[in-house]
Amino acid sequence: MPEVIQKRRNRVFKSLHKPLTYMGIERTLFFMVAVSAVGMFNLFNSIIGAVVVFIGGCIFGHWVTNSDPAFSRFLEAPKSSSSGMTRPNRQFRT
């Protein structure tokens, strides 16, 4: 008599796999755009320049988030870790 093997079904919620966004832009990319707009305002004392940088950054961020979410991770990656070299582990005497 053959045994019937039941397959296990796990629920997966769509909200767990969506990227967290503000205004359709990934959180870290939105933060980078906001900080650059504030920096523009502080450096040049121009609210129009800050608004232009913020709107342009939001358009770019929206395009990046919709086209390829992994691309924004590439943009935000720290430059120091790109060499692939790590420090050797040090052994301390006790």
Residue 15 lies in a domain: no
- Model pLDDT, residue 7: 85
Residue 2 lies in a domain: no
Residue 13 lies in a domain: no
Residue 14 lies in a domain: no
Domain total of the chain = 1
Residue 50 lies in a domain: yes
* Residue ranges making up the domain that contains 32: 21-74
Lowest mean pLDDT among 10-19, 68-77, 82-91: 82-91
- Model pLDDT, residue 76: 62
In tens, the pLDDT along 38-77 reads: 999 999 999 999 999 999 999 999 998 888 767 766 666 6
Please tell me the distance from the alpha carbon of residue 64 to that of residue 75, in angstroms, as a whole number: 10
More confident residue, 27 or 86: 27
Q: What is the model's pTM?
A: 0.62
